[in-house]
Amino acid sequence: MNDPGSTNPRDDDDPGLPPEIERLLSSLTGGGPVDPQVASMMQGMGLDKVDPQMLAMVMQQVQAMFATPDTGEAVNTTLATDIARKTVAAEGDALATEADRRGAAEAVQVAGMWLDAVTDVSTPGLRGAAWSRAEWVEATMPVWTDLVEPVAEGVTDAVGTALSTQLGQIGEADLPEGVAGMLDQAGPMLRRMHGSMFSMQLGQGSGTLAGEVLTGCEVSLPLVPSPDVVLMPQSLRAFAEGLEVDEPQARLYLAVREVARVRLFGAVPWLAPALLAAVRDYASDISIDTEAIDEAVRSIDPSDAEAVQQALQGRMFAPQQSPAQQAALARLETLLALVEGWVDVVTESATRDHLPQAAALGEAVRRRRATGGPAEKAFGSLVGLELRPRRLRDAANLFRALEDRGGTALRDGAWRHPDLAPGATDLDDPLGYVERSAAPEGDAMDAELDRLLSGEDPA
């Protein structure tokens, strides 16, 4: 006797496919009955043995993908934001209290006064803010979307190419009739599905990151637009407790770091665009390792969703970087090192006479970076990019050498023009850069001109 809720007739001894799978296959073939050969093929893949609860969850996710409007973009920002908000909610999130907001505003004001005494780099009108993790997600998602769009496009195109290649090897004549008709409609659907899957990955990654960052721009990118200087009170409290440092000192120290960062982005007009361009340039030339993905998929049980995710992690990006990627990576590493190196130096100068535990807090930040801080995790999971913390120490040493030679004016003057800013070779030879920078203006310009004419890459 046939199941009245099924679209596929079957014998009493044949349990057939789960109703959810049958409805999905039926929708792909225009609402008609599922071809028996297609049903048999799906059973051979083990889809008739999938746990009903897991299958229902997967079907809900698929329905969510297609319920969101198709924007035509590789990344669905609405879907990514929704997943990110659910991620932070699952990990635990809390709205900032009035005391948190007042504490952030006061800390940023004090940090500004301390920095005024040690640097002329300034951006007027900055204001302190305390955000929940969900608020950070909402504010930063547009920037993340812009950065990972090239990766999403590459993944979607690569999967489409791999599918076309596999189908070409099979040949339409070898496919069951129902499958051949279904594949005619599958291209646009799969493109949208893969875009949605990448958007869900972006949402999960940024949501996880929201639970780790201590300040708005801790990853050294201009994620939060001026004039907001953002502290994350929930993570800040956990950071202070872990170090056994009192919370007000930790708040002030992190406020100084974040104010310095935001001031730098605001006062150096070429810096933020150069950072974002380097990330996009790296991402736009990413190659997708379709062979590794294919190998991973063949080796796993399709009914085990967790095994599928684990098998694909780390296999998506091709192992070899292109020359264009290597150049973009060098620029990005250098710029990130310069930002954080400068922030390290001015923060040390601004806090050492005011905070008894400044040295311990500075060491904790350095350990946090060296063991894979939020920036490394963000770039690694979203654009397959690994950053080396060694360059940060080199940059800090360079800025200290500039300050020792010519004071804060020489140190901060390194930012006055992108062509005169330190490059990768300068991080290898900081004293040489200091000598050129400390030379009379005409001699310094001549030295820079000679370097450019010799073909030496400043980045």
For residue 8, pLDDT over 90 is answered with no
Give, in order, the Cα–Cα distances in Å from 92 to each of 85, 142, 389, 419.
10, 23, 30, 45
Which range (110-119, 186-195, 342-351, 372-381) has the least confidence?
186-195
Rounded to an integer, the average pLDDT of 438-448 is: 63
pLDDT at position 417: 94
CA nearest neighbour of 134 among 93, 96, 165, 174: 93
pLDDT one-digit tens code per residue, 211-239: 999 999 999 999 998 899 999 999 999 99
At 48 the pLDDT is 54
At residue 152 the predicted structure's pLDDT band, cuts being 50, 70 and 90, is: confident
Structure tokens at 162: 């791999």
For residues 288 and 356, what is the distance between their CA atoms, to the nearest angstrom? 50
Chain position carrying tokens 């599918």: 163
216: which residues sit within 8 A by CB, 6+ positions away?
A: 129, 131, 136, 139, 140, 223, 224, 228, 229, 230, 231, 232, 258, 262
Tell me what pLDDT residue 452 has. 53
Provide the residue count of the chain: 459
Per-residue model confidence as pLDDT tens digits over 399-415: 999 999 999 999 999 99
> Is 356's pLDDT higher than 90?
yes
pLDDT of 116-126, one tens digit each? 999 999 999 99
The alpha carbon torsion through 98, 100, 106, 109 (nearest 10 deg) reads -120
In this prediction, residue 369 carries a pLDDT of 85
What mean pLDDT comes out for the span 1-14? Answer: 45
Cβ count near 307 (within 10 Å): 14
Under 8 Å between Cβ of 395 and 388: no
**pLDDT tens string 25-69:** 565 555 566 666 656 655 554 555 555 554 555 556 555 555 555
Q: Higher-confidence residue: 178 or 199?
A: 199
Range name among 103-117, 242-256, 294-308, 425-439 with the lowest pLDDT average? 294-308
Confidence at residue 284, expressed as pLDDT on a 0 to 100 scale: 77
Which sign, positive or negative, has the C-alpha torsion 203, 205, 211, 213? negative
pLDDT above 90 for 179: no
Average pLDDT over residues 12-17: 53
Strand blocks (E) in 301-429? none
pLDDT of residue 408: 97
Q: Among 147, 211, 216, 200, which Cα is nearest to 379's? A: 147
Nearest to 195 by CA among 162, 143, 154, 146: 154
CA-nearest of 139, 43, 125 to 88 is 139
Reported as a pLDDT band with limits 50, 70 and 90, residue 148 is confident
* Statement: residue 375 has pLDDT above 80: no
pTM of the model: 0.76
Average pLDDT of the chain? 78
Residue 4: predicted pLDDT:
43
pLDDT surpassing 50 at residue 1: no
- In what helix (H) or strand (E) does residue 130 lie, and over which residues does it extend? strand 127-130
